[in-house]
């Protein structure tokens, strides 16, 4: 949080929206909200890429979050940089459409959207910080209530979004370019710095990318390739703008997407590796419970905390459950081998001569149950052997129901024993006749 003396950089994020979005293609947003979302609330569990709809009801449009304006107040955030902390306050210029008529809703500012994008002094008394549109609009309760300070926002600079992904939007490049050129003319008059931000660079279209670069050159400014989905270069775009606004914050240095992506990936790989190692060493029984462990890790383990930050709690749980499943499978396998080995020993001991074993495995089973030393080889349990605590003991006696659930393997042991016995007997006879 900035103190009253520290400078706050007020950023307006602009780009195609509303009716412009649907020109010549599907009305899919260019990524303004996701860029803001990743920047303001970067944690994996706070990143909601598909929860920022701008087609709303007249009723929701009046909600304090939208407040009948075509801009959203995303709140304030402090980011570290090589030149110290930088404080940001961010708004997104957008255009809300009526969910019935698909026409632009009538807001407080009556200018066309491209002109509104260049507005420097925004006012909206009691406007609330926006988080997401799915639940916040209907039920503000449960959401942090932060009011736009004094109901005013004075823009220091602009991030102009250029969507470089063509496949999903189906919107011709020309339409986006024409719109941005119109916006740029308005912004240029304000004399405020602007940075062109390539969005969705994780799925770029080369023609769009080249055009976006050329457009930035034409605007005589920097072009930053970002991906909100992959959390690449998002902070950098805002920091470069801050450096253009406040010269004490250093010289802007653009980092290529490929370089930034590689760095991110290396960090992510280390984080995933750290959490996996934690699970491998710390979770040694499949009875370990996620609820207990996740609470403990949250308090005490940096690897876990870092993993949840980047990958989210659901993925952390998924890896944890995968580890438990593996442990369970390994234990089953180990115990199965032990029981089959006990079965072989049992057959050798109880039937030194196979002619007493019965004609079939089924018959042999019957005979085994009648043996006086049955309990030396078998254990009868109330619950199924797979769900039994018995699996985690050192007892290598065979759970009796194991013979039912693993008939095939038991049959193999039985047949193998008979075969070996016959072979040995034959070998003995041959040796005798040779003498």
Binding site for Mg ion (CB under 5 A): 32-33, 52, 94
By beta-carbon proximity to Mg ion, the closer residue of 54 and 303 is 54
- Binding residue for ligand GTP (CB under 6 A) from 12, 33, 323, 340? 33
Among residues 200 and 335, whose Cβ is nearest to ligand GTP? Answer: 200
In the complex, the smallest distance separating the C-beta of residue 100 from ligand GTP, rounded to whole angstroms, is 17
Distance of CA 11 to the CA centre of its chain: 27
CB 157 within 8 A of CB 15: no
Q: Give the SS3 label for residue 135.
A: coil
52 or 324: CB nearest Mg ion? 52
Q: Which does 203 bind (CB under 5 to 8 A by kind): ligand GTP, Mg ion, none?
A: ligand GTP
Rounded to a whole number of angstroms, the minimum distance from the CB of residue 52 to ligand GTP is 4
Site for ligand GTP in 358-417 (CB under 6 A): none
| Least distance from ligand GTP to the Cβ atom of residue 104, Å | 12
Is position 31 an interface residue for ligand GTP (rule: CB under 6 A)?
yes
Angle at which helix 313-350 crosses helix 407-434, to 10 degrees, equals 40
Residue 3, burial from CB neighbour count under 10 angstroms (0-12, 13-18, 19+): exposed
30 binds, among ligand GTP, Mg ion, none (CB under 5 to 8 A by kind): ligand GTP
Name 222's Cβ contacts closer than 8 Å, sequence gap at least 6.
195, 196, 216, 240, 244, 252, 254
Span of 144-152, 212-220, 222-230, 245-253 interacting with ligand GTP by CB under 6 A = 222-230
Which residues does 32 contact at the CB level (< 8 Å), separation at least 6? 13, 14, 15, 17, 92, 93, 94, 161, 199
Stretch of residues binding ligand GTP (CB under 6 A), selected from 25-33, 134-142, 250-258, 387-395: 25-33
Least separation in angstroms between CB 267 and ligand GTP: 18
Residue 171 binds ligand GTP, judged by CB under 6 A = no
C-alpha of 115 from chain center: 37
Helix axes 302-311, 290-300, angle to 10 degrees: 110
Tokens of 332: 């089953």
Told to check if 28 binds ligand GTP by CB under 6 A, we report yes
The least CB distance from residue 257 to ligand GTP, in Å, is 11
Size of the site for ligand GTP (CB under 6 A): 23
Which residues from 72-111 bind ligand GTP, rule CB under 6 A?
A: 94
Cβ contacts of 20 within 8 Å, gap of 6 or more: 95, 113, 114, 175, 179
Sole binder of ligand GTP in the list 14, 21, 304, 417 (CB under 6 A): 21
What does the alpha-carbon distance between residue 169 and residue 25 come to, in Å, rounded to a whole number?
6
CB closer to Mg ion out of 130 and 184: 130
Cβ burial 102-132 (10 Å sphere, 16+ → b, else e) = eebbebebeeebbebbbbeebebeebbbbbb
Least distance to ligand GTP from the beta carbon of 39, Å? 12
* 140 interacts with, out of Mg ion, ligand GTP, none, CB within 5 to 8 A per kind: none
What is the residue whose two structure tokens read 């039985």? 414
Minimum CB separation from ligand GTP for residue 167, in Å?
Answer: 9
Whether 316 contacts 383, CB under 8 Å: no
Asked if 64 interacts with ligand GTP (CB under 6 A), we say no
**Residue 53 CB, nearest distance to Mg ion (Å)?**
8
Report helix angle 313-350 to 290-300, nearest 10.
130
Question: Using N-to-C axis directions, what is the helix angle for 361-369 and 407-434, rounded to 10°?
Answer: 100
Binding status of residue 67 toward ligand GTP by CB under 6 A: no
Q: Is 116 in the site for ligand GTP (CB under 6 A)?
A: no
Q: Which stretch binds ligand GTP (CB under 6 A): 21-29, 301-309, 366-374, 385-393?
A: 21-29
Q: Which residues bind ligand GTP (CB under 6 A)?
A: 15, 17, 21, 28-34, 49-50, 52, 54, 94, 165, 199-200, 202-203, 227-229
């Amino acid at each position: 949080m900035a103190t009253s003396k520290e400078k706050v950089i007020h950023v307006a994020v602009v780009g195609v929206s509303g009716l412009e979005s649907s020109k010549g293609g599907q009305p899919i947003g260019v990524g303004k909200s996701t860029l803001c979302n990743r920047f303001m609330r970067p944690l994996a569990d706070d990143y909601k890429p598909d929860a920022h709809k701008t087609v709303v009801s007249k009723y929701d449009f009046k909600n304090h979050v939208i407040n009948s304006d075509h801009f959203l107040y995303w709140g304030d955030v402090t980011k570290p940089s090589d030149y110290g902390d930088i404080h940001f306050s961010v708004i997104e210029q957008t255009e809300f459409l009526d969910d019935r008529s698909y026409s632009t809703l009538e807001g407080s500012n009556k200018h066309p959207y491209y002109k509104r994008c260049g507005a420097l002094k925004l006012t909206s008394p009691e406007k609330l910080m926006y988080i997401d549109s799915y639940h916040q609009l209907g039920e503000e309760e449960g959401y942090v209530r932060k009011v736009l300070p004094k109901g005013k926002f004075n823009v220091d600079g602009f991030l102009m979004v250029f969507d470089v992904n063509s496949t999903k939007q189906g919107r011709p490049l020309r339409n986006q370019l024409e719109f941005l050129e119109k916006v740029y003319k308005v912004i240029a008059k304000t004399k405020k710095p602007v940075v062109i931000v390539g969005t969705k660079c994780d799925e770029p279209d080369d023609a769009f990318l080249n055009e976006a670069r050329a457009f930035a050159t034409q605007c005589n400014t920097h072009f930053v390739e970002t991906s909100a989905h992959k959390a690449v270069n998002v902070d950098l775009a805002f920091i470069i703008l801050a450096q253009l606004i406040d010269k004490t914050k250093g010289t802007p240095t653009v980092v290529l997407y490929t370089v930034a992506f590689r760095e991110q990936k290396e960090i992510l790989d280390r984080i995933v590796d750290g959490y996996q190692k934690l699970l491998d060493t710390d979770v040694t029984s499949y009875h370990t419970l996620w609820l207990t462990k996740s609470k403990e890790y949250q308090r005490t383990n940096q690897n876990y905390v870092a993993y949840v930050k980047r990958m989210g709690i659901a993925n952390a749980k998924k890896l944890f459950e995968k580890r438990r499943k593996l442990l369970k499978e390994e234990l089953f396998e180990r115990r199965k081998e032990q029981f089959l080995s006990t079965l072989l020993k049992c057959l050798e001991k109880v039937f030194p001569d196979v002619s007493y074993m019965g004609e079939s495995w089924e018959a042999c089973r019957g005979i085994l149950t009648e043996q006086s030393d049955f309990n030396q080889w078998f254990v009868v349990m109330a619950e199924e052997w797979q769900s039994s605590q018995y699996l985690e003991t050192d007892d290598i006696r065979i759970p009796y129901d194991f013979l039912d659930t693993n008939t095939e393997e038991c049959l193999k042991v039985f047949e193998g024993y008979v075969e070996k016995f016959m072979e040995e007997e034959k070998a003995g006879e041959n040796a005798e006749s040779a003498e």
